[in-house]
Amino acid sequence: MKSIAAILLAVALITGCASSGSSSLPEPFPEVEGGRSLHGQTYMKNPGIPDAAEIHHIFFAAYSRSRVKMLGGEDLETITLNLIDLRARLGDEAFATALAKEHPAVIYAVGGHLNPDAQNPAFPSTAKLIAENPRYHLELDQAAIEFGS
């Protein structure tokens, strides 16, 4: 019985399927060689409050980085800091409202990049949204499992 469960988990990890049973994930932005990297796409262009299109782009760039099976250092830290900055600029309610419009896999990825700050009690709406969202097994998760991080 344990071996069947292990095989099913391995298949889910290999295919990148959500634990909720949905296998339809949005196609990520490509990592462009010599172009603007995914972590660079999470920077806010201007001071102040970004518009809805830029907020979506930031969230989706973070998700897209989660679809790359490579552990990182500075790039992942940059994404985390940029998401924390976005949440601070928007405020908890606006950040959670904007994030709730995204595909559940994007919500999961943003929560993963915010972790452990995803459950910050100063941002209860965001913490609740992330906690109640389905879990996914994305490529970045696979890398963490395989390389023991």
Kindly report whether the global pTM for this prediction surpasses the value 0.75: yes
> Longest Cα pair distance anywhere in the chain, in angstroms?
55
Q: Domain limits of the chain?
A: 2-19+34-146
Higher pLDDT, 33 or 109: 109
Kindly tell me if the per-residue pLDDT of 17 is higher than 90: no
Q: Which residue has the higher pLDDT, 98 or 25?
A: 98
Q: What is the pLDDT of residues 112-133, one digit of tens each?
A: 999 888 899 999 999 999 999 9
pLDDT in tens, 22-44: 458 888 887 765 555 888 889 89
Q: Which amino acid belongs to residue 91?
A: G
Neighbour-count burial for 14-35, b at 16+ CB within 10 Å, e otherwise: eebbbeeeeeebeebbebeeee
Q: Cβ distance 110 to 23 under 8 Å?
A: no
Q: Are 17 and 137 in contact, with CB atoms under 8 Å apart?
A: yes
Residue 4: predicted pLDDT: 36
Share of the chain above pLDDT 90, in %: 52
Q: What is the CA radius of gyration of the chain?
A: 15
CB 66 within 8 A of CB 113: yes
